[in-house]
Amino acid sequence: MALVKQAMIAVTAAVIFALVYGEGVDPNCLGCLCEASTKCNASTACHTPYPGAYFCGPFLISWAYWADADKPIIEGDNAEQKGAFERCVQDLYCGAETVRRYMAKFLDDCNGDGAVTCIDVIRTHKFGREGCGGVIQQGDKFWSQYQECETRLSL
């Protein structure tokens, strides 16, 4: 258990490091988003949790989300080529870039508290650009994982 936790913190640190060089969303916030989504497991494959849903990579990104983010690609790839979506969002850097671009376009004060904070990023990621003010279910794992990270990093 301690080892798993150590590994997880190392991964999060790597993500945060990777994200420091980007613009926009606070790197710590992106790190916590990654942890909340998959414990920031970079090996997270694509999966279909329920019919019609298809989520990939450490940030659990859907094709529509990636398209809304203007289809970022890994170096040398072609956005219109089959698999470009999967190749990008399963890559920690490209996945993070997808989140950043999505937020650059759609991030807003979702919960109406007068400030745009990491909570709004989390909400926009989970609920999408429409309906980011939605109700977070009690006991939601994504949410509790985020809160644990938020406390640990003093976000």
Ligand X SMILES: *[C@@H]1O[C@H](CO)[C@@H](O)[C@H](O)[C@H]1NC(C)=O
Q: Which residues bind ligand X (CB under 6 A)?
A: 41, 43-45
Question: At its nearest, how many Å lie between ligand X and the CB of residue 114?
Answer: 38
- The residue nearest ligand X at its CB is 41
Closest CB 43 distance from ligand X, rounded Å: 4
Nearer to ligand X, 38 or 98 (CB): 38
DSSP code per residue over 18-43: HHHTS-SS-HHHHHHHHHHHHTT-TT
Closer residue to ligand X (CB): 6 or 81: 6
Our CB check for ligand X shows the closer of 60 and 69 to be 60
Q: How far is CA 2 from CA 5, 8, 31, 153, in A?
A: 5, 10, 20, 18
User: Which bin fits 136, alpha (ψ -120 to 50), beta or left (φ > 0)?
Assistant: beta
